[in-house]
Structure 1
Amino acid sequence: MRRLGIAFLLLFFILIVWVQSWLFIPTPKINNTDITQYPVDTLDEQHLMLHKNFINKNEGGLWELYTEGSPFDIGYSTGVLAKELLDRHEEAYIKKITEKSPIKNKYAIRAIKSMYNRHLDNRILPEYCEEMYGLSKSANPKYNAYGSAYQRILNYHSLYDIERNFDEVEVNSSIGFVLTGNKTYESNILVGRNFEFEVHPDFQKEKLIHFVKPLEGFKFASITWGGFVGTVSGMNEMGLTVSTNPVESDIPTKATMPMSLITREILQYAMTVEEAFNIALTKEAYVSETILVASAFDSTAIIIEKTPDGIDSIQMRTNELIATNHLQTEKLRENRVYDPTYASYYKSIRIQELINNKEKFTVPDIASILRDTKGFENTTIGLGNKKSINSLNLHHSVIFKPNTREMWVSADHRQLDQFICYNLDSVFIQAYNYPPKPTLASSNKYIPRDHIKDSQEYRNYQSFQTFAQLIEDWTPDLPRFQDKELLHFRRLNPDSYLTYELLGDYFAKMNDWDMAQVYYKIALDKEVSTFEKRKAIENKYLMVSK
């Protein structure tokens, strides 16, 4: 009996140690923290400097951040200089975590996240752990109930993978394509890229362009947000670009190295597409993702498809390469069949159609594709449709020209405003100026705003979004909308299936089955954004038809 008691106590002690090992992650050991001794110089309201690092907000509304030094130096400087963004985005992350969690208690959420992400730090390169640790020094202590600052920053990178790959991947609007050879002038490589990641309604509106000069590897630029070390879109000083797109994934049982950090490693250490593939090959993934890589050194591009079960690639056989949100290699896509009812497949066909419509492309021509809101053969499918290349609610849009180390970044989350140009060679030279210039952009090479931004159609769409929310939130205890108000709503976005689905929902709430049936039928005659959404509307139609 005594031996049994001792064995039980020993087992209990082991359990406590095991639980503590993933509830309380040890922080990296940093040998040099001199950066923490430097004060922050306020050059003006939105222009700060810390030692050799600085941040400013340009006239287009883009945040420009330059950091250099050791991983800890880069992380610490990022956190201090971009604290305003870090705080807002951490609040958005916490809200999203709480919203998705089956348990709302913050300590329970910490336990669940800690168990899922247990030993995540052991699966990440030490230098990125050190950078996150430096970043965590500026994290808001009011969220400590969800974990230590360092642990939360680690978990946010895992959350990015989970949120992107399990939350309606089919309607994700991240796309990328590469043109080269006789499809461009002087055979330059041109890369077009739209990226969507919606954590919070205001999240899409803030973009941070992070220019990094690390101690090891290549200098690079990454289009990102506060509190994020990984890369989703970027280019390095050698003219290698990366962009990632989520693919539908099975639910994993544990976290491994986040995909965004695999992409960051590629951006920081690869010069050729082969080097990029080899980096991805050596890493374990727990979600599926496609990585579009273009290289000025190789004058080519590659799509790396990586899943928890394997890796494959698509080489550039012609002068174009297109990546959306579905697997294309026979090896990895298995028995999945895609057709135009799937938004991802629909968008890939539309991109190909637009590429085929023009013999040669310039940078503004690439922007016109990224801004496209039409359907097949220029049909109108309603503004905001997730089958559009531009669904008018993206985090960023960027055009890379690797041969000249130039990139153009959208100033507006709807991609209709100007694209601001940055030349990496020029940026890293300017970074040594003191005081830093008000902007690192090449002011004479911007792409003008799209004409649709000033159109009545666009103004109608803005009104539609407000009105749509009112109809969606309507309940029978509220006053009914007048007929003329509903007619006005239809005219705001007449080609969108969503207009008629919402009207069908409105009349269904009033038990007016005949009118609900009419509107659901009209919605089904429009270009519905996804296969699952069409099935949902069909079910509604059948319900009101009984």
Structure 2
Amino acid sequence: MARLPLSMHADHRRGPLAAPRVLAALASTGVVLAVLLALLYSGYLNYTELSPPQVEIPPARPVVDASGRRVDDGRSWITRRGNLWHLYLTGTPEEMGAAQGRLGARLFRSLDAQVGEFLHRRYHNWLDAWSESMRLLWDYHGADAQLRSSDRTELAAFAMALPAGIVESGRLNTYNRLFLHQCFLDLSRRLVEDVIVEGNAFAVAARPATGSSHPARLIVGRSLDLGDEFDPGRIVTVYRPDGKYPFASVGWPGLVGVVTGINGRGIVVTINPARTDDPEEPGLAWPLVLRQVLEEADTLEQAQQIIRDAPLRTSGVVLLGDGVRRRAVVMEVSPRTDGSRRVVRGEDEAIVWATDHLLREHFERDAQNHRIKVSTSSGARYARIGELIRKPSNFDQQDALRILRDRHGAGGAPLGLGNRHALENLATTQAVIIDATSMVMWVAEGPSTLGRFRAFDLRQLLTRHDQPPAPLEDLPSDPLLYSEEYTDYVEAKRQLEYATHLLALGQAADAESAARLALGLAPELAELHRLLGDIARDLGHREAAVRAYRRYVELVPGRMREQQRVRSIIEELGG
């Protein structure tokens, strides 16, 4: 018998063992790669995560008063006035941060959960959510290094004082998450197609007419809209930091910076978001810069200089007022630090106002700014304020209130409730009126601007805290709040939610019936027309779908992403 070659014998003997060895080798390689990837991922997280400075916070000393409406923690306290929370903070950064964490923990948890739900709806695909979180970590790694040491310390104390596990921090530690809460204006820009945050602001240097008993004063009105997705709660916070000017800020839980505020020297600040072609820079978030203004500036010129010198991450429109000198200006600012992109308007005018687009010639050819002006409600709101604002003689808080509550379009044209072209779109997160000369502030307790505006004696809160507050009158609720029209609107919103749920279950016919009921209650509710378009498309009714979608586009400026989607659907349907 012929012998087989030795090599063939060897192959025959190895054959049954070769496959397991190869598989074992592959498995070992996979394990090594998995370990390497895990190490790289862990290293990435460690590199990009913001680490809080070491701080020591005072021990908790909560004291609840007999009514249960006020809680003290050391020298700080929180109470409730109607639907407004009033937080009083004093002392060192450690003391103020710890007090915020203890006194406002429940409120912050509620807002943080809303943010998480919003992100889940937007990035429902886990890979999209993971990718965006990785980009976010990279873009903001080391970003807190530019903060003043007092701000970093206060944020760290705030994070340390929050009860463990109260925040669903995911990949972020609590300090990192709190820091990003200060950057909400910057983060809203990342939603490139959407405009989520919108603002209005105006100031009038009121000069009394001859023979009038009205004093000369500076009146500021302001509203800010974070959209229907958020109900963050309304907090008036008085800060009395050691060694700095005291100030009052109107905001929400977790906001250490300022979006609307006034200091003890009568300096007022408000911020509206803006978008320009200038790319983001590694800089500070607007609320933290405006806090620095209130803590350090006692003149309009000093306030402007702080903003000119600040490293900023994104663009913004800032209204600055000086109640002592009864002057106000608007600063239009981009992240670029050259003088042509940080400009002032209204220096010699008795009336100034702003929405979300920039007016100075330096921004005339800016494509992003032009898009905001013509494709969102900013242009319409700016024009409407210009129509409503009176000449400065005898202008007072009642006049400011009428502007903030205006629900009409250009020339007084009627608009449906909730229309985003209106100054009052029923989604306002905060509304504030400040008499910066008399040092009185009125803050809306909601909903939107419809509820009562509570009066705050700023002299007592910021300068004469050892004296009782002056007897001040609140501004009354809008009669609309108690009307059938508003009740119908609220019910229509609930019916819209129900109809949306039915459509998601595949019950298009039932969804249409529910949506039609809502349409009878609130025919100008834009989201209803979007839903009716979706329902008609699902039922195969092309022409009805196109009509509904077109009406939606007419009624909803500002939600660019949804408008683009709907326009694409209209084209797809041949409309």
Equivalent residue number for residue 40 of structure 1: 62
Equivalent residue number for residue 160 of structure 2: 137
Structure of greater Rg: 2
Amino acid in structure 2 at the alignment position of 1:331: H
1:266 offset after TM fit, Å? Answer: 0.9
Equivalent residue number for residue 263 of structure 1: 290
Q: Tell me the secondary structure at the aligned position of residue 535 of structure 2.
A: helix
Q: Deviations over 1:258-293 (max 9, x none)?
A: 111111111111122211111011111121111111
1:334 offset after TM fit, Å? Answer: 2.9
1:535 offset after TM fit, Å? Answer: 6.0
The change in CA–CA distance for 1:333 and 1:216 in structure 2 (over 3 A counts) is farther
Equivalent residue number for residue 88 of structure 1: 110
Counterpart selection for 1:239 from 258, 266, 284 = 266
The change in CA–CA distance for 1:27 and 1:475 in structure 2 (over 3 A counts) is closer
Q: Check whether the contact 1:341–1:531 (CA below 8 A) recurs between aligned residues.
A: no
Distance in 2 (alpha carbons) for counterparts of 1:369 and 1:289 = 22
Counterpart selection for 2:173 from 148, 159, 162 = 148
Amino acid in structure 2 at the alignment position of 1:192: G
Equivalent residue number for residue 21 of structure 2: none
Equivalent residue number for residue 509 of structure 1: 538
Q: Check whether the contact 1:141–1:149 (CA below 8 A) recurs between aligned residues.
A: no
Equivalent residue number for residue 417 of structure 2: 383
Counterpart selection for 1:426 from 457, 460, 485 = 460
Greater CA drift, 232-241 or 532-541? 532-541
Q: Check whether the contact 1:178–1:190 (CA below 8 A) recurs between aligned residues.
A: yes
Distance in 2 (alpha carbons) for counterparts of 1:367 and 1:381 = 19
Q: Tell me the secondary structure at the aligned position of residue 257 of structure 1.
A: coil
Distance in 2 (alpha carbons) for counterparts of 1:477 and 1:531 = 26
Distance in 2 (alpha carbons) for counterparts of 1:357 and 1:538 = 42
Q: Check whether the contact 1:172–1:325 (CA below 8 A) recurs between aligned residues.
A: no
1:164 offset after TM fit, Å? Answer: 5.7
Q: Does 1:300 align with 2:323?
A: no
1:75 offset after TM fit, Å? Answer: 0.9
Amino acid in structure 1 at the alignment position of 2:358: L
Q: Does 1:226 align with 2:253?
A: yes
Distance in 1 (alpha carbons) for counterparts of 2:447 and 2:276 = 27
TM-score (norm 1): 0.85
How many positions carry a matched residue from both structures? 521
Distance in 2 (alpha carbons) for counterparts of 1:538 and 1:17 = 43
The change in CA–CA distance for 1:96 and 1:527 in structure 2 (over 3 A counts) is closer
Q: Deviations over 1:105-124 (max 9, x none)?
A: 99987654432211112111
The change in CA–CA distance for 1:329 and 1:240 in structure 2 (over 3 A counts) is same
Q: Check whether the contact 2:529–2:549 (CA below 8 A) recurs between aligned residues.
A: yes
1:147 offset after TM fit, Å? Answer: 2.8
Q: Does 1:489 align with 2:512?
A: no
Distance in 2 (alpha carbons) for counterparts of 1:94 and 1:118 = 21
The change in CA–CA distance for 1:271 and 1:306 in structure 2 (over 3 A counts) is same
Gaps of at least 5 residues in structure 2 are 1-39
TM-score (norm 2): 0.81
The change in CA–CA distance for 1:381 and 1:209 in structure 2 (over 3 A counts) is same
Amino acid in structure 2 at the alignment position of 1:313: V
Amino acid in structure 2 at the alignment position of 1:450: D
Gaps of at least 5 residues in structure 1 are 1-14, 434-439
Equivalent residue number for residue 445 of structure 1: 473
The change in CA–CA distance for 1:67 and 1:476 in structure 2 (over 3 A counts) is closer
Distance in 2 (alpha carbons) for counterparts of 1:254 and 1:153 = 20
The change in CA–CA distance for 1:470 and 1:144 in structure 2 (over 3 A counts) is closer
The change in CA–CA distance for 1:253 and 1:21 in structure 2 (over 3 A counts) is farther
Q: Tell me the secondary structure at the aligned position of residue 383 of structure 1.
A: coil
1:496 offset after TM fit, Å? Answer: 4.5
Distance in 1 (alpha carbons) for counterparts of 2:511 and 2:112 = 42
1:100 offset after TM fit, Å? Answer: 5.4
Q: Deviations over 1:3-25 (max 9, x none)?
A: xxxxxxxxxxxx99985773454
Q: Check whether the contact 1:302–1:313 (CA below 8 A) recurs between aligned residues.
A: yes
Counterpart selection for 2:359 from 323, 328, 343 = 328
Amino acid in structure 1 at the alignment position of 2:159: S
Counterpart selection for 1:123 from 118, 138, 146 = 146
The change in CA–CA distance for 1:103 and 1:512 in structure 2 (over 3 A counts) is closer
Q: Check whether the contact 1:396–1:413 (CA below 8 A) recurs between aligned residues.
A: no
Equivalent residue number for residue 220 of structure 2: 191
Distance in 2 (alpha carbons) for counterparts of 1:70 and 1:136 = 16
Equivalent residue number for residue 309 of structure 2: 282
Q: Check whether the contact 2:549–2:570 (CA below 8 A) recurs between aligned residues.
A: yes
Equivalent residue number for residue 462 of structure 1: 490
Greater CA drift, 488-497 or 406-415? 488-497
1:420 offset after TM fit, Å? Answer: 0.2
Amino acid in structure 1 at the alignment position of 2:256: V
Q: Tell me the secondary structure at the aligned position of residue 466 of structure 1.
A: helix
Q: Does 1:412 align with 2:446?
A: yes
Q: Does 1:312 align with 2:351?
A: no
